[in-house]
Structure 1
């Protein structure tokens, strides 16, 4: 049973995650689109970096004997690839992955409320098939949980360097109130860059992992669909804290205004959410669980599924780009 103090801290961490997701516009779809359209990997590297931070935190926690039982991995098979592809296709149709949907909600795009509803419906509709499919856990411990102390110390040194570097290099010239204002603006712009925002996400998730165990909001929806009641109230409250954090991030980011709820967008969000639910059951795990649990533990199935997800999004984006260019060319020829 989670103590009240541990839960309050975990809820604050969940809210911080939601805030960072919204402010950093964290989304795998946006990251892959940046690769396809601009040949830039900044956002994609930033997303993977969240996994690196969790990995390092797990190494240090293991060294200090603070880790509880970690989830087991799963074998890599055709369901892993198929699930990743469905996860990517659903995210593309939705216009955002499960992280991106939280960011959109925080920005006042209320049509994205249909995404978790669609995810839940997808888990319900595919529940029988998922139960029947063999998701046998692997009988070995992650390398992260067996790493020597020297690896943990190396990552601790990396943390010190990473935190200290921006403070040492950011020295605005001048003095007085103007310097303080420029320093605040510089810190704010750095803090919510994609790399820094995913760092906040990774660190906040790590604290939640130590306080309340393995948690991701897609797992909550999957458990709701399966009728599992293990700490479900606590998990649902953490999900609420995540959403409230995202909304707070949107409200404090400046005037953006809520967008209207169009039936077409709601339908796309629901369908995309359902496909992501199907993919998450087949892998198993949503892309938040893959990024923050499976990939940090260096489980091959999580990395394969994430690559399949990115490939699916990238393929769909390329097809859309080619069709859009062809349509534009045909219009020019008609003129």
Structure 2
């Protein structure tokens, strides 16, 4: 890879993308104070380095993130594989989220996203969370209509079960499934990953740095601002955080032996899960973009991958990956 030039390509279904994408969520909220100008510079830096896939959603910043990404890609739309999401509704209660997969909501949400982004089509349109009150077949039929209308090019699902992926794919081809996947979070490996590979569906790894735990930039919870929602995440809770940091410390020593940061080692591990896997680490500044992108060139041997997994076994990670509200969106019966 040249300092500025194309990254290696990977395939999500029949869609070619860069081997790493950019998650834009933190540029609008959830991670403390933001700077729109630096966020736009970070997007530009990612594009300059060959990152083509940008990931946003209609609820990030209540539409702010889509507008921000739209501003950032003006004049460069042809360089971007643009993905956004629909299906979660915010209410006046900042703690409340509703799910909706109904046809009219999907179609209306797409129109609103196109307007905020300032584009005439979306490359990957994800159902952000499946709505248990709406058959996935209805949701996918709406997506298929949007494809036929030329408003979206590919359909994606986010945090879907293996069974729902099969049901959805039977209605219209699913190009990509986006789910949390990192050294700290490996739950999709049992069912979702094999199902996607059987069906030829690509895998987009969200939170590949475990919400910053694997970035090695957070050594104390007090580094997080009061508005940072990771303060409510069980993995950052007192006692859990310290135990999880011991795993990071073990990875730090191994990474140093390879002249890597923990962040680069963790991203390289995800990239080695398969040629159909594309991580989308978040970055709110150019420095973090640079560090993330350099992980694309890291080659880990089979023995090194085994060593990394021995240093950081998934069962040793303490705390649920989601806070109670988000966990119940996926499973109403979850108890934390």
TM range (shorter): under 0.3
Structure with the bigger percentage of helix: 1
**Looking at both structures, which has the greater relative contact order when contacts are Cα pairs under 8 Å and sequence separation is at least 6?**
1
Structure with the bigger percentage of strand: 2
TM-score by length of 1: 0.28
Mark the structure with the bigger radius of gyration.
1
